[in-house]
Chains A and B, each alone.
Chain A
Amino acid sequence: MQPPLIFDIKRYAINDGPGIRVCIFLKGCPLNCRWCHNPESISPQRQKLFSADKCIGCGECVASCPQQACKLTAAGIVTNSQRCKLCGSCAEVCPTLATELSGKYRSTAELLRIIEKERPFFDQSDGGVTFSGGEPLLYPEFLLELLAACGERQIHRCIDTAGLAKTETLLEVAKHTDLFLYDLKLLNNEKHRAWTGIGNELILSNLQTLAETGAAIQLRIPLIRGVNSDAENIAATAAFVAALPGTKKSISLLPYHNIFSGKDRKLGRRRNLDGMTEPSPEELQRIIQIFAGHNLLATVGG
């Protein structure tokens, strides 16, 4: 199986699990959520990113491209995607980082070296490593090798997942995972399909199965008004979570922000943002109350 591309490594990650962590982002996701704040995480392929505002029009990339795929226009660099082989020589020479290539292969040994660098911070904060994405469960072999190696080194392991993976993969990964950060977006299957491109049956059954194994799970809910912050969805979510076996689950509410529109531009992508807004503080309080009604603790933030 093809190893994953890594599109980001974030050190001093303080919102992706307990303590101070290093977060490794794997490229590729089976979902296509309309609100996704990391749009470059969706495709499993390398992608060229371009920020017109950073381009100084030096033309170095045009000269460097072995495929003659880059062209300097009034609107900045235009890339002929038919010709472009994503070799990265344009990003290599670009002096301003206007052109970047998202996605880099990294060996497990290299990643372990990077993770180890953060050990003093883990030790002080009970932190560790978080594998996020995209969807890390898309790459079980790679992931299991890293998880096992981190386990041997007594590094705390989190998996940030949307839950859409083969159940046996999830259960195998669970043997080597200390905490799951499990996303729950919408309880209504049709709405889930409409907003993310795919139904939620497997996500919910996987969560149920995972909880039955006694795995530590923290639930994360991206909250978008117009999508899932309505009382109906929250009540259904709360009822579902409350009924899960095992220890009581805590819930992190992640209010929507329009953080990604800059990233969309870089990808040359447009999407319809209609109908999605940030929930108000009052709304957040109401949502916390609904969870509290099911004896569940929900907090804002990761």
Chain B
Amino acid sequence: METIDRPETAPEREAAAEGNFYPATENAIGPGMNERIQRLRKLSVETAPSLSIERALHETVFYKENYGKYPIPVLRALNFLDHCQKKTIYLGADELIVGERGPRPCAVPTFPELTCHSVADLQILNNREQQRYRISDEDIQTYAEQVIPYWQGKTIRERIFAHVPAEWQAAYEAGLFTEFMEQRAPGHTALDGQIYQKGMLDFKTQIAAEIVALDYLNDPEATDKAEQLKAMAISCDAVIRLAERHAEWAEELATRESDPQRSAELQKIAAICRRVPAHKPRTFHEAIQMYWFVHLGTITELNGWDAMNPGHFDQHLAPFYTAEIAAGTLSREQAKELLCCFWIKVNNHPAPPKVGITARESGTYNDFTNLNIGGISSDGQDGVSEVSYLMLEIIEELHILQPGNAVHISSKTPDRFLHAACKVIRQGHGYPSVFNPDIYVMELLRQGKSLKDAREGGTSGCIEVGAFGKEAFILTGYLNVPKIVEVTLNNGIDPLSGKQVGLETGDPRSFKSYQELYAAFLKQLNFIVDTKIRVSNYIDRMFAKYAPAPFLSVVIEDCISKGRDYYAGGPRYNTNYIQCTGLGTVTDSLATLKKHVFEDKTFSMERLLDAIAKNFKDDEFLRQTILNKTPFFGNDDDYADDIALQVYADLLGAIDGKPNTKGESFHLNMLSTTCHIYFGKMMGATPNGRLKGKSISDGTSPSHGADTNGPSAVIRSLTKLDHTMSGGTLLNQRFLPSLLQRDEDIAKLGQLIRSYFTLGGHHIQFNIVDSATLKAAQECPEDYKDLLVRMAGYSDYFNDMNEDLQQEVIERTENEAF
């Protein structure tokens, strides 16, 4: 996921401060980790992320020598093979799952062919306070001499920016939308179970057969296909070679190792690396290592968004687990240890840093690899297995930033699993989030997927749905819908910069009715969306032509049989998403205008616009009236909810079904990740009483403090929207730990989730608030009207409590939170 600012709920903690390990508490659902895992975790958490220039150096030398000699796909594959042959192999003490993208843990390579960091960028990365990436002066010097001069003017990013139209540039700079692919390759993809059935050699056999079958006589694309297929075969070799080099190094280390136990482990690692990914895995250990090599391959080839996702990893691993437990070749503890090793591997891979960095856009280390746990199987059965429970235990005990994780709760999911997940949620890490397969399968079916492919689908990155292993579902960027209201109220001008960024739809003071205002908003919306799509389509083709992904194409179904790249319509399904943010802010703003300006005439448009321009500075009466006397989204009030429905329908009208470059279409998500914070900074005050620069609402959650009738009313409002028309919605709910004290409270949380999902909700996550949030609520009560506090025997809104009691709750929460 694209992130512009630090996430609000960063789960990472100072590991060393607490003896590195999550203590076994009475709330924990499993025993703590063993010493090996504690050491690996410590290393992963305490290693400072750094930049590695190794990949860039290999690539630059390779391009200098070979650019022009081969068709682009083959060049890309050979470049990948070259790096796999030369890259530094890391195999650390204690490791059971092996392989790093960089030369050591937490070392991130750069991808200068897409976007080349300048010397200044590298220096900022090395020195900034948050999300630092360390790099030595010597490496910066080398980069300046050997890498930057070659790529200057040739990068995909520079070529894109040389072509974008002025209106796109204006809207982009005003913060009306973001563009994912100006920095990183399209990604967000997840795998199905194919790689547990086929090794790279099997894929190569299939590729060879397709090459033989090419019909140069009748198929005008035969030559292009031949190039793509050849590139795919080379990339299979690259990953096999990468694994073999790990095998060789493990054998070498085994001979040097004095501890016989570790020596045996190293020999086993070597044997496994000779088996996978060339062949399909046979054991639980091989299956995890298989996935990990494929993961590494895709994130080394390119820097796709959201790294790579294993999809329904518990379901993929369950057959190996069951067979080995039955055969006595694996114990539950060993399986858990291997899974922990995998978890730590993912955590060892911070996100690639962006270029043109400012302190504000410092981002996050999270690269958004996300696991789907539970859910349903491709034949519609309950997908929960013992591996799912193991994963929940690990989430609770290991407590690290990556991988992200989500539980999938269908009507078939047992209460036991839901209850176990709710217990982890109660710990307050913000994980796992909760998804509804019964609804997202329908979302995928509506988009035209087959039932089986839809059921095998799920959510990757944040909340976006895709047919795992069979679809390129490309997120193209966030749309700042509240900003479109702002632009409408300023006749097409961005009030922050004074520049024309939208259409001239008239001075709102002249509007006679709400309908007239809304029609102007709709015109602006369609204009902005089309402006964005034009450039997204252009970028799509840039990647397809100049930065194809042959290895990713091997593991996504139908690329081989079509002889097409992942970015060029190779996968079975090809979707582009636009993520719409701020439904709450838009609805509340429009409700304010409709009710107070046009219907009740509480105040005039002139007075409201004047107050907004002054950031409500001299008109507290107006702002308080808006905040307290307007129907807002999230209260099960049809007045506001009907506006939300209208906006949602019109977002669908503007986006859904617009053609993409692959003969398929755009769809929408209602998602913000952390972009609502950035978007808020790009906006003045809004008609709903929100002050200048403050965060807008996220995907589909109500604005902060707007919902005052409790979670069931929020759910009622949210489910008036037909989630199946989207590719995902987002609902964030704040809970205090005190609401989740007893087992029966946790059961009620599960029942709340079930209720939401029965009514058609796509996703819900719980932010179990900490004392810092409560203190903020004391200082700024209007943003926290929704904070419900449980006292023994009754609940009350935090705002309604006297100061002493608030203080007591704060102190109590400090004790409870972790």
The chain A residues found within 8 Å of chain B, CB to CB, are 10-16, 19-20, 37, 56, 58, 60, 95-97, 117-118, 120-121, 123-125, 127, 220, 222, 252-255, 257-259, 261-263, 300-302
Closest to A38 in B: B794
Can you list 5 residue pairs at the A/B interface with Cβ under 8 Å? A96-B628, A120-B755, A252-B793, A255-B792, A258-B804
Residues of A contacting B159 in the complex (Cβ-Cβ under 8 angstroms): none
- B39 in the interface, Cβ–Cβ < 8 Å? no
Closest to A300 in B: B792
Of B713, B751, B795, B802, which is in contact with the most chain A CB atoms at under 10 Å from its CB? B751
Task: State which residues 708-741 of B face A: CB under 8 Å.
Answer: 709-713, 716, 739, 741
**Smallest distance from the beta carbon of B500 to chain A beta carbons, Å?**
35
The reply to whether B758 and A120 contact each other, CB–CB distance below 8 Å, is yes
Of A20, A37, A258, which is in contact with the most chain B CB atoms at under 10 Å from its CB? A20
User: Can you add 15 more A-B contacts, CB < 8 Å, to A121-B751, A300-B792?
Assistant: A11-B712, A13-B795, A96-B628, A121-B752, A124-B751, A124-B754, A124-B758, A125-B752, A254-B792, A254-B794, A258-B805, A262-B802, A301-B741, A302-B792, A302-B794
Of B710, B748, B793, B800, which is in contact with the most chain A CB atoms at under 10 Å from its CB? B793
The reply to whether A261 and B712 contact each other, CB–CB distance below 8 Å, is no
Task: State which residues 770-818 of B face A: CB under 8 Å.
Answer: 788, 790-796, 800-802, 804-805
The reply to whether A95 and B629 contact each other, CB–CB distance below 8 Å, is yes
**Smallest distance from the beta carbon of A29 to chain B beta carbons, Å?**
16
Among the listed stretches B276-284, B360-368, B577-585, B617-625, which one makes contact with chain A, having 4 or more residues with CB under 8 Å of it? Answer: B617-625
Could you tell me the distance between the alpha carbons of A125 and B751 in the complex, rounded to whole angstroms?
6
The reply to whether A56 and B620 contact each other, CB–CB distance below 8 Å, is yes
Please tell me which one of the listed residues B622, B745, B759 contacts residue A14 in the complex, with CB atoms under 8 A apart.
B745
Could you tell me the distance between the alpha carbons of A297 and B792 in the complex, rounded to whole angstroms?
17
The reply to whether A11 and B709 contact each other, CB–CB distance below 8 Å, is yes
Could you tell me the distance between the alpha carbons of A254 and B624 in the complex, rounded to whole angstroms?
36
Residues of B contacting A11 in the complex (Cβ-Cβ under 8 angstroms): 709-710, 712-713
**Smallest distance from the beta carbon of B673 to chain A beta carbons, Å?**
27
**Smallest distance from the beta carbon of A182 to chain B beta carbons, Å?**
14
Residues of A contacting B758 in the complex (Cβ-Cβ under 8 angstroms): 120, 123-124
Please tell me which one of the listed residues A14, A118, A222, A262 contacts residue B795 in the complex, with CB atoms under 8 A apart.
A14
Closest to A263 in B: B800
The reply to whether A257 and B792 contact each other, CB–CB distance below 8 Å, is yes
Residues of B contacting A20 in the complex (Cβ-Cβ under 8 angstroms): 712, 748, 751-752, 755
- B256 in the interface, Cβ–Cβ < 8 Å? no
**Smallest distance from the beta carbon of A120 to chain B beta carbons, Å?**
5
Could you tell me the distance between the alpha carbons of A259 and B625 in the complex, rounded to whole angstroms?
28
**Smallest distance from the beta carbon of A160 to chain B beta carbons, Å?**
11
The reply to whether B751 and A262 contact each other, CB–CB distance below 8 Å, is no
Could you tell me the distance between the alpha carbons of A127 and B755 in the complex, rounded to whole angstroms?
12
Could you tell me the distance between the alpha carbons of A15 and B708 in the complex, rounded to whole angstroms?
18
**Smallest distance from the beta carbon of B815 to chain A beta carbons, Å?**
13
**Smallest distance from the beta carbon of B717 to chain A beta carbons, Å?**
11
Residues of A contacting B792 in the complex (Cβ-Cβ under 8 angstroms): 253-255, 257, 300-302
Please tell me which one of the listed residues B620, B751, B759, B795 contacts residue A19 in the complex, with CB atoms under 8 A apart.
B751
The reply to whether B802 and A261 contact each other, CB–CB distance below 8 Å, is yes
Could you tell me the distance between the alpha carbons of A125 and B752 in the complex, rounded to whole angstroms?
8
Residues of A contacting B796 in the complex (Cβ-Cβ under 8 angstroms): 259
- B636 in the interface, Cβ–Cβ < 8 Å? yes
- B163 in the interface, Cβ–Cβ < 8 Å? no
Residues of B contacting A56 in the complex (Cβ-Cβ under 8 angstroms): 620-621, 624
**Smallest distance from the beta carbon of B201 to chain A beta carbons, Å?**
50
The reply to whether B751 and A259 contact each other, CB–CB distance below 8 Å, is no
Could you tell me the distance between the alpha carbons of A125 and B750 in the complex, rounded to whole angstroms?
9
A56-B624, A258-B804, A262-B800 are known contacts. Are A301 and B742 too (CB-CB below 8 A)?
yes
Closest to A60 in B: B621
Task: State which residues 622-666 of B face A: CB under 8 Å.
Answer: 622, 624-625, 628-629, 636
Residues of B contacting A60 in the complex (Cβ-Cβ under 8 angstroms): 621
**Smallest distance from the beta carbon of A264 to chain B beta carbons, Å?**
9
Could you tell me the distance between the alpha carbons of A257 and B636 in the complex, rounded to whole angstroms?
31
Could you tell me the distance between the alpha carbons of A127 and B795 in the complex, rounded to whole angstroms?
17
Of A13, A14, A259, A300, which is in contact with the most chain B CB atoms at under 10 Å from its CB? A14
Could you tell me the distance between the alpha carbons of A121 and B754 in the complex, rounded to whole angstroms?
8
The reply to whether A254 and B712 contact each other, CB–CB distance below 8 Å, is no
The reply to whether A257 and B791 contact each other, CB–CB distance below 8 Å, is yes
The reply to whether A10 and B759 contact each other, CB–CB distance below 8 Å, is no
Of A60, A259, A261, which is in contact with the most chain B CB atoms at under 10 Å from its CB? A259
Could you tell me the distance between the alpha carbons of A13 and B793 in the complex, rounded to whole angstroms?
11
Residues of B contacting A259 in the complex (Cβ-Cβ under 8 angstroms): 791, 794, 796, 801-802, 805
**Smallest distance from the beta carbon of A141 to chain B beta carbons, Å?**
28
The reply to whether A125 and B621 contact each other, CB–CB distance below 8 Å, is no
Closest to B804 in A: A258
Could you tell me the distance between the alpha carbons of A12 and B634 in the complex, rounded to whole angstroms?
14
The reply to whether B710 and A58 contact each other, CB–CB distance below 8 Å, is no
A20-B752, A20-B755 are known contacts. Are A15 and B621 too (CB-CB below 8 A)?
no
Could you tell me the distance between the alpha carbons of A181 and B628 in the complex, rounded to whole angstroms?
34
Annotate B293-330 by CB proximity to A: 1 below 8 A, 0 otherwise: 00000000000000000000000000000000000000
**Smallest distance from the beta carbon of B474 to chain A beta carbons, Å?**
35
Q: Which A-B residue pairs are the 6 nearest by beta carbons?
A: A254-B793, A95-B624, A125-B751, A12-B710, A95-B625, A262-B802
Please tell me which one of the listed residues A14, A127, A253, A254 contacts residue B739 in the complex, with CB atoms under 8 A apart.
A14
Closest to B628 in A: A97
**Smallest distance from the beta carbon of A275 to chain B beta carbons, Å?**
18
Please tell me which one of the listed residues B622, B745, B747, B801 contacts residue A262 in the complex, with CB atoms under 8 A apart.
B801
**Smallest distance from the beta carbon of A302 to chain B beta carbons, Å?**
4
The reply to whether A117 and B751 contact each other, CB–CB distance below 8 Å, is no
The reply to whether B794 and A37 contact each other, CB–CB distance below 8 Å, is yes
Could you tell me the distance between the alpha carbons of A240 and B74 in the complex, rounded to whole angstroms?
87
Residues of A contacting B716 in the complex (Cβ-Cβ under 8 angstroms): 117
Residues of B contacting A262 in the complex (Cβ-Cβ under 8 angstroms): 800-802
Could you tell me the distance between the alpha carbons of A14 and B452 in the complex, rounded to whole angstroms?
39
Please tell me which one of the listed residues A15, A261, A263 contacts residue B790 in the complex, with CB atoms under 8 A apart.
A15
Residues of B contacting A97 in the complex (Cβ-Cβ under 8 angstroms): 628
Residues of A contacting B801 in the complex (Cβ-Cβ under 8 angstroms): 259, 262
Of B625, B716, B792, B800, which is in contact with the most chain A CB atoms at under 10 Å from its CB? B792
Residues of B contacting A257 in the complex (Cβ-Cβ under 8 angstroms): 791-792, 805
Could you tell me the distance between the alpha carbons of A302 and B791 in the complex, rounded to whole angstroms?
10
Residues of B contacting A302 in the complex (Cβ-Cβ under 8 angstroms): 792-794
Could you tell me the distance between the alpha carbons of A11 and B716 in the complex, rounded to whole angstroms?
11
The reply to whether A12 and B711 contact each other, CB–CB distance below 8 Å, is yes
**Smallest distance from the beta carbon of B596 to chain A beta carbons, Å?**
11
The reply to whether A121 and B795 contact each other, CB–CB distance below 8 Å, is no
A257-B805, A259-B805, A262-B801 are known contacts. Are A15 and B793 too (CB-CB below 8 A)?
yes
Could you tell me the distance between the alpha carbons of A257 and B807 in the complex, rounded to whole angstroms?
13
The reply to whether A15 and B794 contact each other, CB–CB distance below 8 Å, is yes
The reply to whether B755 and A124 contact each other, CB–CB distance below 8 Å, is yes
**Smallest distance from the beta carbon of A127 to chain B beta carbons, Å?**
8
Residues of B contacting A254 in the complex (Cβ-Cβ under 8 angstroms): 792-794
**Smallest distance from the beta carbon of A61 to chain B beta carbons, Å?**
12
Could you tell me the distance between the alpha carbons of A254 and B794 in the complex, rounded to whole angstroms?
8
Closest to B629 in A: A95
Could you tell me the distance between the alpha carbons of A10 and B712 in the complex, rounded to whole angstroms?
10
The reply to whether B712 and A255 contact each other, CB–CB distance below 8 Å, is no
Could you tell me the distance between the alpha carbons of A301 and B801 in the complex, rounded to whole angstroms?
19
Could you tell me the distance between the alpha carbons of A95 and B602 in the complex, rounded to whole angstroms?
11
Could you tell me the distance between the alpha carbons of A257 and B806 in the complex, rounded to whole angstroms?
12
Closest to B806 in A: A262
Of A13, A15, A300, which is in contact with the most chain B CB atoms at under 10 Å from its CB? A15
Residues of B contacting A10 in the complex (Cβ-Cβ under 8 angstroms): 710, 795
